[in-house]
């Protein structure tokens, strides 16, 4: 038997649940065909179209024709997708294979009642309600496996509103494998993309713009890290894999979408690499040239294509997809490392801005691995099937 107090508590809980439910099924606004710059309370785009009136952006409505893929819909990706949705992006394509968990609630965007749903489905529902004008496709799979990677490439290649390649890929994943997979795909497809990341200690982050062949790809150098000024020896990892803060993730998502908008709508300068150190409020920026000896064969191929082009000016025209005049103050294509590095540089010798370093170094002579003396496997007489059988019978 329940007491009156218990029943009252239950009623309150149910009322709260009902309210949450109703707020989610309540009808949103109707679709809008054309972005209007009319300043009325009912126009969701009036403040964005004001960017045009103020002369910041030439043609804001163009955003309705553009398609962006967001890979990873976690702490950074979900906020990124929401910002683009509110900006009225034409099409969003979301990739993730994770589910919403209560452990995600220290980050923005997802809500407790969504726990258990796939991140892409939960995100698509929320985003569609915020802005029904955006076309949203959601893919719930891991892009790093063989079959899924092919599907991923096909979607990037033909997923735009017009059936062509998407305008930009945004990497918001949380692991090296997925970043490398995106890098592989974008080098092969000659697809411009942004890499983004937040460190596992939650106090630094970065974004990096990758134009295959023109700027360093993700495989051109070991992963870059923003120095957190924490002595690595004092960094305790006992009992946990990773920490996260909504602040750092929100800031990185903000940098990412800001540069995405600048790139897509051709205003301001797009930063090639922007780091963020939370403990010191330090924001290093730099440009990185691709590594001629990059491990990725398609990166090297894109580099030779870029080198075969006539003038550096073309780099700038590539950014604006239409024939509108190039911003004269665009510092595009000017690399910080051009000035002071001799031609015959050691490729492992990256010219990094203060406060950014490689996570680890890879010796140039990779001939003798430091930790193995067991010799190499000898060519086997046995077939793969026979070896599989032998292993199974052990």
What are the catalytic residues?
Answer: 241
Q: Please report how close the Cβ of residue 347 comes to Zn ion at its closest, in angstroms.
A: 10
Closest CB 218 distance from Zn ion, rounded Å: 7
Q: Please tell me whether residue 180 binds Zn ion under the rule CB under 5 A.
A: no
Residue of the chain from 181, 220, 294, 319 that contacts other proteins (CB under 8 A): 181
Site for Zn ion in 298-327 (CB under 5 A): 299
Residues touching other proteins: how many (CB under 8 A)?
45
Q: Which does 220 bind (CB under 5 to 8 A by kind): other proteins, Zn ion, none?
A: Zn ion
Neighbours of 340 (CB within 10 A): 7
Paired with 283 in beta bridges are: none
CB of 225 to other proteins, least distance (A): 12
Return the closest-CA partner of residue 256 out of 174, 198, 320.
Answer: 198
Stretch that binds Zn ion, among 103-111, 241-249, 293-301, 311-319 (CB under 5 A): 293-301
The residue range among 13-21, 59-67, 172-180, 244-252 that interacts with other proteins, by the rule CB under 8 A, is 172-180
For other proteins, the closer CB: 49 or 294? 294
Cα–Cα nearest to 273, from 296, 294, 252 = 252
R_g over Cα of the chain: 24
Q: Does 146 bind other proteins (CB under 8 A)?
A: yes
Question: How far from 269 is each of 143, 329, 333, CA to CA, in Å?
Answer: 31, 8, 11
Taking CB under 8 A as the rule, does residue 373 contact other proteins? yes
How far is it, in rounded angstroms, from Cα 157 to Cα 164?
Answer: 6
Binding segment for Zn ion (CB under 5 A), chosen from 127-135, 149-157, 227-235, 291-299, is 291-299
* CA distance linking residue 175 with residue 180, whole number of Å: 9
Selected from 36, 37, 142, 280, the binder of other proteins by CB under 8 A is 142
User: Considering only CA atoms, which of 65, 70, 109 is closest in space to residue 88?
Assistant: 65
Nearer to Zn ion, 295 or 386 (CB): 295
**Segment lying near Zn ion (by CB under 5 A), choices 144-152, 288-296, 327-335, 342-350:** 288-296
Helices in 160-239 by DSSP H: which ranges?
176-189
Calculate ∠ Cα 153-107-24, nearest 5°. Answer: 85
Contacts of 258 (CB under 8 A, 6+ apart): none
Q: Which of 176, 309, 338, 345 binds other proteins (CB under 8 A)?
A: 176
Q: Which stretch binds other proteins (CB under 8 A): 12-20, 266-274, 307-315, 363-371?
A: 363-371
Nearest to 74 by CA among 95, 88, 93, 89: 95
Q: CA–CA separation, 348 vs 363, rounded Å?
A: 8
Largest Cα–Cα separation, the chain? 84
Q: Are 291 and 176 in contact (CB under 8 A)?
A: no
Closest to other proteins by CB, 175 vs 349, is 175
Cα angle: 86, vertex 91, 96; to 5 degrees: 90
Q: Based on the shown chain and the rule CB under 5 A, indicate whether residue 211 belongs to the binding site for Zn ion.
A: no
- Shortest Cβ 69–other proteins spacing (Å): 17
Using CB under 8 A as the binding rule, the residues of this chain from 184 to 203 that contact other proteins are 184
Binding partner at 254 among other proteins, Zn ion, none, C-beta below 5 to 8 Å by kind = none
- Backbone phi, psi, residue 109, to 5°: 80, -65
Taking CB under 8 A as the rule, does residue 114 contact other proteins?
Answer: no
Q: Footprint of other proteins on residues 224-283 (CB under 8 A)?
A: 232, 237, 239-241
392 binds, among other proteins, Zn ion, none (CB under 5 to 8 A by kind): other proteins
Among 120, 217, 249, 286, binds Zn ion (CB under 5 A): 217
Distance between terminal CA atoms of the chain? 61
Per the CB < 8 A criterion, the answer to whether 123 and 140 are in contact is no
Q: 357 and 199 in contact (C-beta within 8 Å)?
A: no
Residues of this chain that bind Zn ion (CB under 5 A)? 217, 219-220, 294, 296, 299
Residues of this chain that bind other proteins (CB under 8 A)? 98, 142, 144-146, 149, 175-177, 180-181, 184, 219, 222, 232, 237, 239-241, 295, 359-360, 362-363, 366, 369-378, 380, 382-384, 387-388, 390-392, 394
């Amino acid at each position: 038997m329940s007491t009156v107090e218990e029943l009252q508590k239950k009623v309150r809980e149910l009322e709260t649940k009902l309210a949450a439910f109703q707020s989610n099924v309540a009808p949103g606004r109707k679709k809008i065909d054309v972005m209007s710059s009319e300043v009325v309370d009912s126009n969701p785009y009036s403040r964005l179209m004001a960017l045009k009136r103020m002369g910041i952006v030439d043609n804001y409505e163009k955003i309705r024709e553009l398609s962006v893929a967001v890979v990873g819909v976690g702490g950074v990706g979900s906020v990124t997708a929401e910002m683009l949705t509110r900006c009225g992006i034409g099409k969003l394509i979301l990739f993730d294979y994770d589910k919403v968990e209560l452990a995600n609630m220290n980050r923005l965007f997802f809500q407790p009642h969504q726990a258990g749903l796939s991140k892409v489905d939960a995100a698509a529902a929320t985003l569609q309600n915020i802005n029904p004008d955006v076309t949203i496709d959601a893919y719930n799979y891991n892009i790093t496996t063989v079959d899924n990677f092919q599907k991923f490439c096909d979607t990037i290649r033909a997923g735009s509103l017009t059936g062509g390649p998407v305008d930009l890929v945004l990497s918001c994943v949380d692991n090296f494998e997925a970043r490398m997979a995106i890098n592989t795909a974008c080098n092969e497809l000659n697809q411009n993309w942004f890499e983004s990341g937040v460190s596992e200690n939650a106090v630094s982050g970065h974004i990096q713009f990758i134009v295959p062949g023109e700027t360093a790809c993700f495989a051109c150098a070991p992963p870059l890290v923003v120095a957190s000024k924490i002595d690595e020896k004092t960094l305790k990892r006992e009992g946990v894999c990773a920490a996260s803060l909504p602040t750092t993730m929100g800031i990185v998502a903000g940098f990412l979408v800001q540069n995405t908008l600048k790139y897509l709508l051709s205003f301001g300068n797009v930063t090639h690499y922007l780091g963020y150190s939370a403990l010191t409020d330090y924001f290093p920026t730099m440009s990185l040239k691709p590594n001629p000896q990059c491990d990725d064969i398609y990166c090297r191929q894109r580099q030779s294509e870029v080198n075969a082009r006539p003038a550096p000016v073309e780099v700038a025209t590539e950014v604006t997809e239409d024939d509108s005049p190039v911003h004269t103050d665009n510092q595009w294509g000017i690399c910080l490392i051009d000035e002071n590095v001799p031609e015959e540089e050691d490729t492992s010798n990256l010219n990094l801005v203060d406060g950014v370093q490689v996570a680890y170094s890879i010796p140039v002579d990779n001939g003798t691995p430091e930790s193995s003396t067991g010799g190499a496997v000898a060519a086997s007489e046995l077939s793969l099937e026979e070896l599989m059988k032998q292993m199974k019978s052990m």
